[in-house]
Amino acid sequence: MANSSELRIARRMDEVGFSDIVQIRNKVMALRAAGTQVHALHGGEPYFETPDAIKYAAISALVQNQTHYAPSSGIAPLRQALAEKVNRKNRIPADVEHVIATVGGSHALYAAFQSVLDPGDDALVFSPYWTPIGDLVRGAQARPLLVPTTTARRNGIAATLEQFSTPQTRAIYYNTPQNPSGVVFTRAEAEEVAAFARARNLVVIADEAYEDLVYEGEHVSIASLPGMAERTITCYTFSKTYAMTGWRGGYAVAQEPFMTALRKIVLYATNGVPTPVQYAMLEALQTPESEIRMRLEEYRRRRDLLVQGLRAAGLECEMPAGAFYAFPNVERIHRISRTAAEILLDKAHIATIPGSVFGAQGEGHLRFGYALPVDQIEAAMAALKTFLG
């Protein structure tokens, strides 16, 4: 029974969950500790290590005493390089004052939702969606409105967005390539989302964490479309392209009035990205596009191998056009994806993520990550085939 002297946390935190994915990670660790070999396909980390040049840039920054407070929005050469990159590669018109360094893509997304949403607002979210997004929206005391991606692509993006909108809708979360489905929206689809946002005066929060992992089609930054740079906050990360998940490097691109809000949030949440990490980010931006494309081909090999393995084991799986996940239908194992994931982990020692954690539209599916060494994918698919007979 609650009484008035009981200590409690802020009520808005009651609506915020704590990643289901962590629970799976814990179970994998427990199995491994007990000596069981686990096929770890539940993760989302690149298969290679952070390139040496990036590590040495951080070491060199430390040795040169770049260990002091930096401007909270990022050191000048980094912001200059980021502005140059988004103009060149993403075709987003941006000056130095339109970019801000963040502690990973997660921090950029947190700052974006906090900058845009008021209590009682709604945000349209294509579903299945990356799990933290629901919590980021609810943490801003707003409500995620889940828009089934498959239905939207089949029946028309604008008509489906319209169907799920409310008078309180303020924003659209637009992630391409998508985690967990691997969907890459086409240019025509991006144009439809953009037209809808302009007509309804909505803000777009674009998540381009996997911009360099597109196997089919092209990556279109929605902020590059006419009339969109001023109403889009685009969030990026160094985690995936450069294998820098633990460095916590990211950035956001936005115009006013949003940039002022982003700056305040970054200032008070972290007072900026650790200074040596900013030098590592600056070095990462020097990576030749040819190297990024070479890794894309490595990922393509892994994608083909995994999807081939899933299909050979009798699972229905669409070929993902981007990112590094496959999202097959697993109703053959169990209709409820949580149960299917448990069965697969307990009986075949294959760790995956239940589709339902990515929204109701993910039910009946499991997410298999393929950012792994090739032999690990082969071993997992052999185990799956044996298990499903």
Ligand X SMILES: Cc1ncc(COP(=O)(O)O)c(C=O)c1O
Tell me, residue by residue from 37 to 76, as one string, x for binding to ligand X by CB under 6 A and - for no binding.
-------x--------------------------------
CB nearer ligand X, residue 169 or residue 237? 237
Name the minimum Å distance from CB 128 to ligand X.
Answer: 11
Report d(CA 315, CA 244) in Å as an integer. 32
Stretch that binds ligand X, among 237-245, 257-265, 268-276, 280-288 (CB under 6 A): 237-245
Burial (CB count within 10 angstroms: exposed 0-12, middle 13-18, buried 19+), residue 336:
middle
| CA–CA distance, 290 with 271 (Å, rounded to integer) | 34
DSSP 247: T
Backbone angles phi, psi at 102, to 5 degrees: -135, 165
CB nearer to ligand X: give 107 or 231. Answer: 107
Cβ 52 to ligand X shortest distance, Å = 21
68: amino acid identity, one letter: H
Between CA 236 and CA 284 the distance in angstroms is 13
Nearest to 382 by CA among 309, 297, 303, 284: 309
Q: Is 130 in the site for ligand X (CB under 6 A)?
A: yes
Judge residue 130's burial from the number of C-beta atoms within 10 Å of its C-beta, 0-12 exposed, 13-18 middle, 19 or more buried.
Answer: buried
Alpha-carbon distance of 10 to 160, in angstroms, equals: 35
139, 144, 182, 250: which one binds ligand X (CB under 6 A): 250
CB of 133 to ligand X, least distance (A): 8
209 binds ligand X (CB under 6 A): yes
Please state, as a whole number, how many other Cβ atoms lie within 10 Å of the Cβ of residue 144.
19
Q: Would you say 223 or 333 has its CB closer to ligand X?
A: 223
> Which of 382, 374, 371, 386 lies closest to 46 in space, CA to CA?
371
**Rounded CA gap, 326 and 183, in Å?**
10
Place of tokens 């993006």: 157
At closest approach, how far in Å is the CB of 236 from ligand X? 8
Residue 184 lies near ligand X (rule: CB under 6 A): no
For ligand X, the closer of residues 104 and 328 by Cβ is 104
Least gap, CB of 272 to ligand X (angstroms)? 16
Supply the minimum distance, in Å, between the C-beta of residue 177 and ligand X. 8
Selection from 164, 162, 161, 167 nearest residue 185 by Cα: 161
**Number of residues in contact with ligand X, rule: CB under 6 A?**
13
Out of 50, 160, 169, 179, point to the residue binding ligand X (CB under 6 A). 179
Rounded to a whole number of angstroms, the minimum distance from the CB of residue 364 to ligand X is 21
As measured in angstroms, the least distance from the Cβ of 159 to ligand X is 25
Residue 353's Cα: distance from chain center in Å? 15
- Is the Cβ of residue 221 or residue 239 nearer to ligand X in the bound state? 239
Residue 141 interacting with ligand X (CB under 6 A): no
Closer to ligand X at the Cβ: 279 or 324? 324
Distance CA 150, CA 92 (A): 28
Which phi and psi angles does 203 have, rounded to 5°? -95, 140
Nearer to ligand X, 149 or 313 (CB): 149
Among 72, 151, 165, 245, binds ligand X (CB under 6 A): 245
Tell me the CA distances in angstroms from 368 to 42, 118, 325, one per residue in order: 6, 35, 6
> Per CB under 6 A, which of residues 88..107 are in contact with ligand X?
104-106
Contact with ligand X (CB under 6 A): which of 169, 232, 234, 239? Answer: 239
Q: Could you tell me the smallest distance in angstroms from the CB atom of residue 22 to ligand X?
A: 13
207 is an interface residue for ligand X by CB under 6 A: yes
| Residue window 216-235: x/- pattern of binding to ligand X, with contact defined by CB under 6 A | --------------------
| Exposure letters 70-93 (e unless 16+ CB within 10 A, then b) | bbbbbbeebbebbbebbbeebebb
Residue ranges that bind ligand X, judged by CB under 6 A = 44, 104-106, 130, 175, 179, 207, 209, 237, 239, 245, 250
